[in-house]
Structure formats: C-alpha cells, structure tokens
Amino acid sequence: MKSIRTGNYELPQTLVMLRELEEEIEAETGEVFADLVGLSFSYSPEENDYFSYASAPIDMVLMTFTRVDSYCGFITEFSTIDDLENAPIVLFEPLRIGDSEYSAKIIANNIRDFLRLLITVKNIFSLDQEDDEKHEEQTAEEGYFYKRIEERFDLQPFESVQQYKQKLMQIRSRDVAIITKNGIGVKGISNEDSHGTFELNEEWDNLLVEVKRFFESASLESKLACIRDLQEQVSLEHGLDLLNFLIDEMTKLGFMNEVRKLSTYTV
C-alpha cells in the first residue's frame, strides 16, 4: 500500500485502522462518525501543512478536528519522535474554550490512550476532563461507534480519568527537561543540563530585544520552551520582526518542520 505521510512522518497504523473502521461503519449503517459524535480524523498532509493557528504548538501534527473548533494532534517533541504511535496527544483550542487559560494541553500519552479516553468520556466536550464526572447516556447509534472502537483496538475504558490524567502529568513533568506554562514542556534534546525560563515582560515594545538577549545564552531546550510560551501569550502573526527572528533561529538549529509551520504565519 502506498505510504501516506504527514510532514516527515508516516501516519501511524492506528490512524490508518481508524479510517478503515469509519469506512466500514458508514457502509454498514450509512452513518458518518463526524456527524454522530462531532469528531473527524484527518488524513490529509496538505491540510496539516496549512493548519496555521499561531498559538498551536509548532511541533503538532494534526490528527482530529471537532465541530466545536478544537483540534487534537501529535506532539513530535520537535521532530525527535520516531513514530507517531508513541507521540503524546494534545488538545488545541484556539478560542480557549472552557476555563483553561492556555490553548494547548496534553490529554493522552499516545493515540491508543486517546481512544481509551474517547470511549470513556464519550463526549467531545470532555476530552480535557480531569475528574470522573459521568455524562448522559449516548444514543444507540453513538454507542455502537464507541463499541466498535473498543472491539477493533481491543481497548477498555479508563477506570478513572482523574487518576489517568494525574499520572500522565506527573510522568510528563518528570520526563521533560523544562516545563512550559501550558504543561507540555520540552524534552531533553541536547547534552546541556542547565535550563532557564523566559519571563515575558509586560513592556511588549521591548519583547524582541528581550527574546534576542535570552537566546544569546539559553540552552536549546530553553529556546524551544520560550517559543512554546510565546505562542501562548503573544500573537506571533502580528509581530513579524519577532516571528522572523524565531524563523531564522530555528533554521540555524535545523528544525525545518517547525520552520515550515512558523513560516505559514507570515502569509
């Protein structure tokens, strides 16, 4: 079968199997998964390339979108993940739906855990749920979709979403070299072991100068963490001088997938 690629990554087998399952169910029932549960899985590399929300993590590969203008994607750890099957899953809400003050949030350790979360909460509004609140019963048609996912991937719902999410973030905090304000952090890439956090000054007129000064002596991981935090707090597409500086720096560092994503904000 011809390889399907998103960026420099082959689509994970789990995502390919999901597409096949969607097609089977539609042929059997005439129902489309997205129409019933409001969640569509993306298989288009072109769509990922043009996914250009400036607050979305630049190392996110689009996986799903919902009818409430939120998205889920694979975090590639700045293109260091070998296989998207093993990549953490982030929920990205450009309008910051709900109580979260950040647009991006890790919700699952990998795509199979994402599916376990989906068949547990059975509600696209609850993918970032951190407690064990139960929701209304699903329709028979919706329940059939979730049941087929369980069977196809041999999955069981989480006994406790709260415990899973707590453990997820405990492990994430332990494994990253430096944490970021949205909790995603940056895993160790270099041999450097001293990292610092860029603190955004309210005097935004001097932001570019401050970022340049920070980058002069910051570790690689600190620079990447700075970009994550800037994306959450600054409209990069409106600060072209800063954006161009980040593009130049990431180009020098060799992060070409991320440079391509940053470059879409200048259009």
255 & 149 share domain:
no
Please count the structural domains in the chain.
2
Give the integer Cα–Cα distance in Å for 100 and 93. 9
What are the tens digits of pLDDT across the range 20-48? Answer: 999 999 999 998 888 888 888 876 656 66
- Mean pLDDT confidence for 110-121: 96
Domain end marker among 125, 141, 167: 167
Range of the domain at 247: 177-266
Do 14 and 52 fall into the same domain? yes
- Shared-domain flag, residues 58 and 160: yes
Interior angle at CA 34, CA 32 and CA 36, nearest 5: 75
Q: Both 19 and 118 in a single domain?
A: yes
Whether 210 is in a domain gets the answer yes
Instruction: Express each pLDDT in 237-265 by its tens digit.
Output: 778 899 999 999 999 999 998 998 898 88
Whether 146 and 195 map to the same domain: the answer is no
Boundary residue ending a domain (108, 134, 167) = 167
H/E segment holding residue 48: helix 45-49
* 172 falls within a domain: no
Spatial distance between the Cα atoms of 175 and 259, rounded to a whole number of angstroms = 25
Residue 142 lies in a domain: yes
Do 126 and 34 fall into the same domain?
Answer: yes
Q: What percent of the chain has pLDDT over 90?
A: 55
Rounded percentage of the chain residues whose pLDDT exceeds 70: 90
Using the 3D structure, point to which of 144, 167, 190 is the last residue of a domain. Answer: 167
CB 232 within 8 A of CB 181: yes
